[in-house]
Structure 1
């Protein structure tokens, strides 16, 4: 008998490092310390295992990204916290660098289209959450009424995904953190008239 959660963690790291198509069954069973029959009995298929591993990543390693955005006392602090959490997720010592969701399955064979669509929807969730936050801030008078909430949300989602790519390419935590001031500058320009002390 094996520890299912521990095995899922090991599978997650393999997929995180190598992607869905780049991870062989041998890679997975070796990392998980189980046989192929045990893997299929517990997770049904490689695809099902991958999707469960991605959800596990979202609920563990990446959970702080949404939490920082949603729980901060101000929108600006939420954005800064989200970006810092994204950097932390992408530069964990002893873990694959980058974000599993941001990097996963942007290209795949036609038979794996379901994987690509699932990750696309997960990436879209961040952008939709940001858009709703910005729309609420506009309604509450914290952002000017002419702000395009959709494009601003797309911008910050793009920054989060870009930080992940930079991390996978070898950027350090300090190098990524230096980007934050530039990333927050557009928000500061938007709110300066309405909120001179930066409390939006």
Structure 2
């Protein structure tokens, strides 16, 4: 049997959008086939199962976020300026999408927690990678004498991550730009010495 040819990235992007809009449980195979343009057999052949498609969609989402993060922090800007842009981007994402599509990780963590250890571990690992990337940037800022608290960089990164995902969760029911911007400013103030 010849395998179907398709643009894997496009399929994962469309599946990712469906999982963001519907959640894991409500993203039926019928909805996923409509979104991806693949027949159920092609999805099973390429991804093994709905769960396999979901895990690849999560990895696709994570890779997009990792690339965006890298672009923010590979400039000559001070780290604090990049952290501020990171917050601004989070607010913009919350406002550009409906509350149901703010963040695949946020939605999935809230829905799947305790139900599927493999999925929970993948989601937790994605958050841990963000924490570690933030910790490296915070440590760099501390070494360069930026106005950031001298606390343990990983602890500050965990607090910052909690704040970012708290904002995303808050946006589910309160998609108010002014409130989210104030929350972001407060988050940044909470890790600085000014």
Query: Structure 2 length as normaliser, TM-score?
Result: 0.81
Deviation (angstroms), 1:12? 0.8
1:11 aligns with 2:11: no
**Offset, 1:58:** 2.5
> For structure 2, which runs of at least 5 residues remain unmatched after alignment?
none
How many residues align? The count is 190
Displacement of 1:78: 1.3
The 3-state SS of whatever aligns with 1:103 is: helix
Q: In 2, are the aligned partners of 1:64 and 1:82 still within 8 Å (CA)?
A: no
RMSD across aligned positions (CA): 2.8
Matched, 1:120 2:124: yes
Q: Whose helix proportion is higher, 1 or 2?
A: 2
Between the aligned partners of 1:129 and 1:82, the Cα distance in structure 2 is 13
- Partner deviation per Cα, 1:127-173 (whole Å, 9 max, x = no partner): 11122222233334435784232321111101110111122224133
Q: Indicate conservation of the 8 Å contact 1:66/1:82, yes or no.
A: no
- Give TM-score, length-normalised by structure 1: 0.79
Q: Using a 3 Å threshold, how does the CA distance of structure 1 residues 63 and 177 change in structure 2: closer, same or farther?
A: farther
How far apart are 1:111 and its partner, in Å? 6.7
Moved over 6 A (4+): none
Unaligned runs of at least 5 residues, structure 1:
193-200
Tell me what 1:186 maps to: 190
